[in-house]
């Protein structure tokens, strides 16, 4: 499989190509104004990089990727335990990035809930952080649907660039293997 570094390079190059294309395509084929088109291409490009580099499909194994989360590496432990390596659930075009995004949102919600609970246990009256978090997401979807849509698309393409590279390499090895076998057989027939 391509190394984490190779995947990063693919993510950065594909993101750099896609961002300006998104801007011009949004201006050309949608009703969006220049400033919204610019914002959408920015969010799509950023989500593409974020997804490929920090939310990589290879979070399904103990790899360089979870180390990038520093002290928060443990967030991905349960994900790693339950998601089989290189399965549909971690390496697919749409479901797997959405699953990682959803998983992350649930983890953040859980942490905020525990934080609120902990503060109330020691006698403080904390704001309901977890509820606030959900409200913020809801408001964002309602007030900036185009940008949120661009972010989700970019999040999927960032993961897809990884998955497609993995597929190509696997297919490449398979083809090379087949070709190699045929060559060997031909060589044997000659004798
Ligand atoms: Zn992979």
For residue 131, the model assigns a pLDDT of 93
Identify whether 189 is part of a domain.
no
Q: Find the 82 Cα to ligand 1 centroid distance in Å.
A: 16
- Interval between CA 71 and ligand 1 midpoint (Å): 23
Q: Rounded to the nearest whole angstrom, what is the distance from the C-alpha of residue 167 to the centroid of ligand 1?
A: 9
The confidence score (pLDDT) of residue 191 equals: 45
Q: At what angle do helices 145-190 and 95-121 cross, to 10 degrees?
A: 130
Using the mean position of ligand 1's atoms as its centre, give its distance from the Cα of residue 40 in Å: 27
pLDDT, residue 170, reads 86
Per-residue pLDDT of the chain (191 residues), as tens digits, is 788 999 999 999 999 999 999 999 999 999 999 999 999 999 999 999 999 999 999 999 988 899 999 999 999 999 999 999 889 999 999 999 999 999 999 999 999 999 989 888 887 877 889 999 999 999 999 999 999 999 999 999 999 999 999 999 888 777 777 766 676 666 565 54
Q: Are 18 and 157 in contact (CB under 8 A)?
A: yes
Distance 92 CA to ligand 1 centre (A): 10
Residue 190 lies in a domain: no
Q: Which domain holds residue 121?
A: 4-184
- Residues with Cβ–ion distance below 5 A, ligand 1: 57-58, 166
How far apart are the CA of 28 and the centre of ligand 1, in A? 34
68 lies in some domain: yes
> For residue 69, how far is its CA from the centre of ligand 1 (angstroms)?
17
Q: What's the rounded Cα separation, in Å, for the pair 51 and 140?
A: 19
Cα 191 to ligand 1 centre (Å): 42
Rounded to an integer, what distance in angstroms lies between the CA atom of residue 76 and that of residue 56?
11
Q: How many domains does the chain have?
A: 1
> 68-73, long-range: CB within 8 Å, 24+ apart, which pairs?
none
**Does residue 138 sit within a domain?**
yes
Residue 191, in any domain of the structure: no
pTM: 0.86
Cα first-last separation, the chain: 36
- Say how many Å lie between the CA of residue 80 and the centre of ligand 1: 13
CA of 12 to the centre of ligand 1 (A): 16
Q: How far apart are CA 12 and CA 2, in angstroms?
A: 15
């Amino acid at each position: 499989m391509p190394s984490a570094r190779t995947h990063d390079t693919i993510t950065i190059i594909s993101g750099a190509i896609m961002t300006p294309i998104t801007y011009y395509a949004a201006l050309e084929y949608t009703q969006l104004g220049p400033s919204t088109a610019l914002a959408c291409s920015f969010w799509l490009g950023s989500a593409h990089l974020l997804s490929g580099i920090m939310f990589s499909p290879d979070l399904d194994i103990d790899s360089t990727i979870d180390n990038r989360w520093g002290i928060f590496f443990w967030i991905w432990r349960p994900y790693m335990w339950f998601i089989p390596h290189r399965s549909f659930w971690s390496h697919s075009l749409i479901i797997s990035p959405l699953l990682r995004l959803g998983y992350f949102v649930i983890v953040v919600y859980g942490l905020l809930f525990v934080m609120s609970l902990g503060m109330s246990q020691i006698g403080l009256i904390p704001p309901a952080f977890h509820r606030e978090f959900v409200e913020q997401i809801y408001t964002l979807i309602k007030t900036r649907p185009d940008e949120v849509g661009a972010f989700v698309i970019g999040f999927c393409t960032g993961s897809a660039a990884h998955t497609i590279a993995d597929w190509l390499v696997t297919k490449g090895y398979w083809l090379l293997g087949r070709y190699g076998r045929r060559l060997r057989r031909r060589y044997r027939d000659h004798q």
